[in-house]
């Protein structure tokens, strides 16, 4: 480095480090919010607008020029305009050649147009490098700075360098860029903010279906049957008693459904003798929403716990216990302690408590910040070993709850078994298959298959 260049450096310090001007087309809500934030982070900002009158709403330090003038001042142009108005960019094509165009638009419906907005933009201005970004961020969140919701900014684009420039800006704004690959990913990224808990859809629909079925099942057994045969009005059972039957049933069934795809996958792998063929599509999808299934199950289990713990406060329960006691007193008889009943009652409560406790542990480890802090082996230990233990405890809890009632004919009203018996079918199936799979004659080949071994290797041309 000779003296001259060093002098130039002294005169214009930091030139190489100064942040490059960013141009924003459109002075709408999001454009302005982004402009404010960029200026705060040290970027010079120039707005491109139809009317070059500066409005009081536009950040003071920003210039407002015509679209063509503004575009010439920056290498990056953020298109804060709705897709319907993209046409106005066509005459600017020559000026936009080689520029980075950032498409931040969102649609109102999933797959509203045949191609994504970003791809449409790339077709309109073929000489520009289009990058999709920022569509998942809300203007309000940008402006207020309280990014309570996601800080993740999904970025995609065909030009690596352009994508890199945009990701640098994202980082400078205090957000987290996530590279999603080429512009083909834009469709998915544009759909993302329109989705409402996509992974939760199946678990929640399934729960609603099961709730409806078991609600009417219990209604028939517990309200209609006594009304018909004993002329008793137990309609108030709907509020707590029946809900508290449905919740544990759903919790147990959903928990079992978390582990069912795992054993099914093991059977398929054993049958095929390889792990390198894709599972059927339904099984793949099922496996991907296991976490959500488990969390919904945990929600029902928690409700069950709350509904159970309020039992002694219920007016009906107090009345029943009090009238039993009064009738005992009037009949002048004291019942001796039934040790078997005490054992059954205490052990089913204890099993339920332990099962719920482990279930909550599983839920806590599935919190993103907790699971980020355990290694792979610990995560598998918790989710698999503790998970099965939870399933065993909860199934045992339900069985011991049944106790002596399983075979008592009085519990079959209108030939309908108690609802909890139905809930035991899936968990018991899962546990039996899992138990069979533990035997060495099946476990050994399965382990080898999972380590990559194949019964009939496929290396062939």
In the region spanning residues 257 to 286, those forming contacts with a second copy, defined by CB under 8 A, are 276
Q: Determine the size of the site formed for a second copy (CB under 8 A).
A: 123
Work out whether 161 is an interface residue with a second copy (CB under 8 A). yes
CB of residue 128 vs a second copy: minimum separation in angstroms? 13
Of 193 and 417, the one with the shorter C-beta distance to a second copy is: 193
Q: For a second copy, which stretch binds (CB under 8 A), given 88-96, 144-152, 260-268, 436-444?
A: 144-152
Of 140 and 414, the one with the shorter C-beta distance to a second copy is: 140
Site string for a second copy, 286-325 (x = CB under 8 A): --x--x-------x--xx-xxxxxxxxxxxx-xxxxxxxx
Rounded CA gap, 264 and 283, in Å?
8
Work out whether 21 is an interface residue with a second copy (CB under 8 A). no
Q: For a second copy, which stretch binds (CB under 8 A), given 39-47, 83-91, 113-121, 251-259?
A: 39-47
**Which of 4, 6, 84, 146 is the binder for a second copy (CB under 8 A)?**
146
CB of residue 185 vs a second copy: minimum separation in angstroms? 10
- With a CB cutoff of 8 Å and minimum separation 6, the contacts of 249 are 210, 214, 419, 420, 422, 423
CB of residue 137 vs a second copy: minimum separation in angstroms? 7
Work out whether 350 is an interface residue with a second copy (CB under 8 A). yes
3-class SS of residue 183: helix
Rounded CA gap, 438 and 328, in Å?
53
**Residue 240 in contact with residue 310, Cβ under 8 Å?**
yes
Work out whether 353 is an interface residue with a second copy (CB under 8 A). yes
Q: For a second copy, which stretch binds (CB under 8 A), given 148-156, 209-217, 258-266, 431-439?
A: 148-156
Strand bridging mode 129-132 / 152-157? antiparallel
- Two tokens at 276? 């390198």
- Two tokens at 339? 């040790």
Look-up of token digits 């079918």: 425
Work out whether 231 is an interface residue with a second copy (CB under 8 A). no
Q: Of residues 51-70, which lie at the interface with a second copy (CB under 8 A)? A: 51, 53-57
CB of residue 349 vs a second copy: minimum separation in angstroms? 5
Work out whether 228 is an interface residue with a second copy (CB under 8 A). no
Of 410 and 451, the one with the shorter C-beta distance to a second copy is: 451
CB of residue 347 vs a second copy: minimum separation in angstroms? 5
Work out whether 381 is an interface residue with a second copy (CB under 8 A). yes
Concatenating the DSSP letter of every residue in 252-269 gives HHHHHHHHHHHHHHHHHH
Rounded CA gap, 126 and 385, in Å?
55
Work out whether 108 is an interface residue with a second copy (CB under 8 A). no
Rounded CA gap, 242 and 245, in Å?
5
Site string for a second copy, 394-433 (x = CB under 8 A): ----------------------------------------
Nearest to 132 by CA among 174, 170, 90, 88: 170
**Which of 65, 152, 210, 413 is the binder for a second copy (CB under 8 A)?**
152
Of 151 and 413, the one with the shorter C-beta distance to a second copy is: 151
Work out whether 235 is an interface residue with a second copy (CB under 8 A). yes
Of 270 and 360, the one with the shorter C-beta distance to a second copy is: 360
Of 80 and 431, the one with the shorter C-beta distance to a second copy is: 80
3-class SS of residue 344: helix
Of 313 and 441, the one with the shorter C-beta distance to a second copy is: 313
| Crossing angle (nearest 10°) for helices 201-218 and 290-309 | 40
Q: Of residues 119-138, which lie at the interface with a second copy (CB under 8 A)? A: 136-138
**Which of 90, 93, 110, 149 is the binder for a second copy (CB under 8 A)?**
149
Concatenating the DSSP letter of every residue in 85-148 gives GGGGGGGGHHHHTTPEEEE----SSTT-SSS-HHHHHHHHSTTSEEEE-STTS-HHHHHH----
Show the 3-state SS of 388-411.
HHHHHHHHHHHHHHHHHHHCCHHH
Q: Is 210 exposed, middle or buried (0-12, 13-18, 19+ CB in 10 A)?
A: middle
Nearest to 240 by CA among 311, 179, 334: 311
Work out whether 193 is an interface residue with a second copy (CB under 8 A). yes
């Amino acid at each position: 480095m000779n003296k001259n260049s060093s002098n130039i450096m002294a005169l214009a310090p930091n030139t190489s480090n100064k942040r490059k001007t960013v141009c924003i087309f459109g002075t709408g809500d999001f454009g302005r919010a982004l402009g404010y934030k960029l200026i705060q982070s040290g970027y010079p900002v120039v707005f491109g607008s139809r009317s070059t009158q500066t409005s009081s709403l536009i950040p003071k330090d920003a210039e407002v020029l015509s679209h063509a003038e503004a575009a010439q001042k920056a290498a990056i142009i953020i298109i804060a305009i709705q897709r319907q108005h993209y046409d106005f960019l066509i005459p600017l094509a020559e000026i936009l050649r080689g520029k980075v165009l950032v498409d931040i638009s969102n649609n109102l419906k999933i797959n509203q147009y045949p191609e994504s907005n970003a791809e449409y933009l790339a077709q309109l201005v073929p000489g520009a490098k289009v990058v999709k970004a920022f569509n998942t961020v809300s203007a309000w969140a940008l402006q207020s700075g309280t990014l309570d919701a996601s800080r993740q900014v999904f970025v995609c684009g065909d030009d690596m360098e352009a994508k890199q420039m945009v990701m640098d800006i994202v980082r400078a704004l205090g957000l987290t860029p996530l590279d999603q690959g080429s512009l083909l990913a834009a469709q998915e990224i544009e759909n993302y903010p329109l989705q409402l808990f996509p992974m939760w859809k199946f678990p929640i629909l399934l729960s609603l279906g099961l709730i409806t079925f078991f609600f009417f099942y219990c209604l028939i057994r517990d309200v209609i049957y006594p009304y018909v045969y004993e002329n008793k009005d137990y309609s108030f059972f709907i509020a707590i008693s029946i809900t508290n039957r449905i919740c544990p049933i759903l919790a147990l069934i959903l928990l079992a459904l978390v582990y069912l795809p795992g054993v099914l996958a093991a059977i398929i792998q054993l049958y095929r003798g390889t792990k390198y063929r894709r599972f059927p599509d339904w099984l793949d999808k099922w496996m991907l929403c296991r976490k959500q299934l488990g969390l919904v199950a945990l929600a029902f289990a928690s409700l069950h716990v709350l509904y159970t713990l309020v039992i002694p406060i219920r007016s009906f329960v107090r009345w029943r216990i009090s009238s039993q006691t009064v009738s005992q007193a009037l009949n002048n008889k004291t019942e001796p302690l039934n040790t078997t009943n005490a054992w059954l009652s205490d052990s089913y409560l204890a099993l339920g408590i332990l099962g719920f406790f482990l279930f909550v542990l599983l839920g806590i480890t599935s919190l993103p910040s907790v699971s980020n802090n355990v290694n792979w082996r610990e995560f598998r230990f918790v989710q698999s070993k503790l998970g099965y233990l939870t399933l065993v405890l909860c199934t045992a809890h339900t069985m011991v709850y049944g106790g002596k009632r399983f075979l008592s004919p009085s519990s079959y009203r209108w030939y309908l078994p108690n609802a909890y018996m139905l809930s035991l079918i899936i968990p018991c199936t899962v546990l039996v298959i899992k138990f069979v799979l533990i035997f060495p004659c099946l476990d050994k080949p399965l382990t080898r298959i999972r380590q990559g071994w194949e019964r009939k290797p496929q290396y062939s041309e």
